[in-house]
Amino acid sequence: MEFAAAAQAFTDHLEKVRRLSPATVRAYRSDLRDLAQTVGELGVEEVSLETLRDWLWRATQRGDARSTLARRAAAARSFFSWAQEEEIIAHDPSLRLVAPKRGRTLPTIASQDAMTALLDAQRSAAATGEPDALRDHAVLELLYGAGIRVSELCGLDVDDLDLARGTVRVLGKGSKERVVPFGVPARDAVGAYLTRGRPVHMARGSRPSPALLLGARGGRIGPRAVYSLVARVLAPFVGADTVGPHALRHTAATHLLDGGADLRAVQEILGHASLGTTQIYTHVSAERLTATYRLAHPRA
């Protein structure tokens, strides 16, 4: 069987049978397309362990990150395991394929003082009543106040909000629903946008939308617009050239732990399936504590 045809069948299986997210399917498709360039005209059954090692070696030579190499090796193992189950191949050549371990890097976060300054500036801009400023303030307060993902934010409908209780219902990874609390500043920012900003945005659209956050043309705001907003306002506060909405999620989690929140409670808020994923933020807090100690203690 041709490699390209098998890869297409595999990604169709991921999408229609296993019902993985579109982003995950795209990642698998991209990795297998890259592998196809190394495989060339070989059939699936002709791909050997040496072929796969050569593929990863080439990726190393062109400077791919260790996390990318690890992900691509995992994609290859998943593909060949599926191919063996489907009896496309008799033996799985990827069983002994080893990729570099992912390097653990601490996420970019902003300090509490930086977040206060940033959000105070956004509140002042929103006080003008300009619709985009009202929406941008609501976006930033929700990302930080609720610690939600950008995809979860953009997917919110008005009916998902409970302003009285200060909670929002989000649809996370794997279509798992959870209810997340947010604070008074976020409630006030969202309430102001609903009252004074959203109606103006809605009037610009061709038809009514249930979406909470609307773009300039009245449709649901997209992740790209949120990325652009966060990059513009947050980068100066964290000293990074590139920073996205996830930095606010990282920041929210770290500040929760710094404030004494239980790790499992943070896991529930963030919607992590594994506590191990949440534990990265304990490392961030430890790093911050160590840095503070070294700066402040006379015998550090």
Is 249 among the residues known to form the active site?
yes
Question: Residue 24, exposed/middle/buried by CB under 10 A (0-12, 13-18, 19+)?
Answer: middle
The catalytically annotated residue of 28, 144, 193, 281 is 281
Per-residue burial over 242-274, b = 16 or more CB atoms within 10 Å of its CB, e = otherwise: ebbbebbbbbbbbbbbeeeeeeeebbebbbbee
Active site residue 169: no
How far is Cα 187 from Cα 30, in angstroms, rounded to an integer?
40
Marked catalytic residue, from 71, 135, 149, 198: 149
Residue 236 has, within 13 A of its CA and on its CB side, a CA count of 6
Residues 6+ apart with CB under 8 A from 169: 160, 162, 177, 178, 179, 180
Catalytic residue among 135, 187, 249, 255: 249
Catalytic annotation on 101?
A: no
Stated as kind and residue range, the H or E segment containing 273 is none
Please pick, among 173, 178, 196, 288, the residue that the annotation labels catalytic.
173
Q: How far apart are the first and last CA of the chain?
A: 64
Q: Residue 281 catalytic? A: yes
Catalytic, 96? Answer no
Residues with active-site annotation? 149, 173, 246, 249, 272, 281
